Amino acid sequence: MNSDQALVLWRSSWSSGISCVYALYQNKLYWAPIPALVLLTSLNYWKNPRNGSWEQRLDISCVGIALIHHLTVAYYTKMYIPYYMLISIASSCFPISYYYYFKNDMWTSTYYHCALHVIANIANLVLYST
């Protein structure tokens, strides 16, 4: 991955900031720290991505915890079906991105990973609208 691709992913990571601000706007103070944490760890990783680094492991761990939390809590909201549909679409972008990464098609991999960031945060906006 080159620095241009990392910059695209660093920029798309800011979509978690939109989720955080929207949670605050909706007065859902209990939701806001989760995308804020994902924002911080993602920005930290994508500023200088290195496979196997502690920054990568921290980012992946925080995203995993956030996803498990949201999937669990979303079930008890009226927006769980649209949230689950959108998060499923977003999650499907990860293995596709990974596939292209190993095919050495870095731009296609980058675009799918960027789509993951954007669609997952659209799912968050839907969830926080309840």
Confidence bin at 130 (pLDDT 50/70/90): confident
Mean pLDDT across the chain: 96
Looking at residue 101, what is its pLDDT? 96
Give the tens place of pLDDT for each residue, 16-65: 999 999 999 999 999 999 999 999 999 999 999 999 999 999 999 999 99
Kindly state the tokens that stand for 9.
Answer: 């992913």
Question: How much is the average pLDDT of 81-93?
Answer: 98
Residue where the block lists tokens 């991505």 = 49
Kindly state the tokens that stand for 21.
Answer: 């601000």
Read off the amino acid at residue 95. Answer: P
* Structural domain that includes position 100: 3-46+53-128
Asked if pLDDT for residue 14 goes beyond 90, the answer is yes
Question: How much is the average pLDDT of 71-89?
Answer: 97
Helices (H), 1-130: 3-13, 15-25, 33-46, 54-74, 80-102, 106-128
The CA dihedral of 32, 36, 38, 40, to the nearest 10 degrees, is: -170
pTM given for the model: 0.94
Q: Report how many domains make up the chain.
A: 1
